[in-house]
Amino acid sequence: MIIVTGGAGFIGSNLVQGLNARGITDLLVVDDLTDGKKCLNLSDAHLHDYLDKDDFLARVQAGQDFGPIEAVFHQGACSATTEWNGRYVMQVNYEYTKALLHWTTAHKIPFYYASSASVYGNGLVFKEARENEHPLNAYAFSKFQFDVHLRKLMSGIQSPVVGLRYFNVYGPREQHKGSMASVAWHMQQQLKAGDRVRLFEGCDGYGPGEQLRDFIHVDDVVAVNLWLFDHPEVSGIFNCGTGRAQTFNDVAHAVISQHQRGQIDYIAFPEHLKGRYQSYTQADMTALRAAGYDAPFLSVEQGVSSYMDWLSKQGL
């Protein structure tokens, strides 16, 4: 059996699809379905069972025997970068992940977890090293602190453990994320409502819409996770981006091109994001490439085109 936490969420549900595509259906999905709309991400999936995230943790801590487990893909988290209840974020993201790490390593179960590029904050060097990490919000701090915790233990762990620092992921099955959904999703919705898409005005020395991010399609994220599953000799903390920054304007033009209509409006930069906004990210992919991952990544133009096609077919 393979366990996927956050399996009804964005990356988790796509990972379930990727496993299903390999013919793997002996899956236990763990999530919090307080937002019942997330279950629609699993309506076309093949699973063995589902457990609420709190029930799952309680069973883990009680020592329940789940039978043979091939791997745990831990994608569950409070992912809202605007959530400032630090006690809640640390409990859900940090303490929960620590509990799963110690359980999986005690049983020598491969453990693949979602870290985040947000740990780099406003830095300009995106390489997996402590001196480059400067989290700017509670979510980023929770991810950063777990990576710190893991580093202290890594040399003594005898089973695969991998943290993936996801950069700006976009693609199918993110519609439940609301304000935390990708800019491509929001632009799709804006064009459905009219002929304008909205981007922030310039900030941090960048022109309107010229802020740069490393946008990675969720299919590429799934591919990296599955490659790691196939290569249990690999452990560590790795960036998971494309290695190529592109502008928000690039995303807007890709969405507009796909719809063959639309113009860009630039709106005032929000006060609450000033000083807490990553105007530039670009993954240093040296470590993952050195580990052996050699597949290409989709460009914004390729990935957005594929995503818009999927949204159209889903009526979204």
Residue 86 CB-density burial (10 A; 0-12 exposed, 13-18 middle, 19+ buried): middle
Phi/psi of residue 108, each to 5°? Answer: 55, 45
Beta bridge partners of residue 163, listed in sequence order: 113, 237
Q: Which of 50, 53, 177, 293 is catalytic?
A: 177
* CA distances for 115 relative to 67, 75, 76, 144, angstroms: 27, 9, 11, 8
Q: Distance between alpha carbon 293 and the CA centroid of its chain, in Å?
A: 18
Task: Please state, in angstroms and rounded to a whole number, the distance separating the CA atoms of residues 19 and 111.
Answer: 16
98 counts as catalytic = no
List 94, 96, 113, 139, catalytic entry? 139
DSSP string, 41-107: GGTT---SEEEEHHHHHHHHHTT-------EEEE------TT---HHHHIIIIIIHHHHHHHHHHHT
Query: What is residue 237's three-state secondary structure?
Result: strand
For residue 107 the two structure tokens come to 């049983």
Q: Clarify whether 177 is annotated catalytic.
A: yes
Enumerate the active-site residues: 139, 177
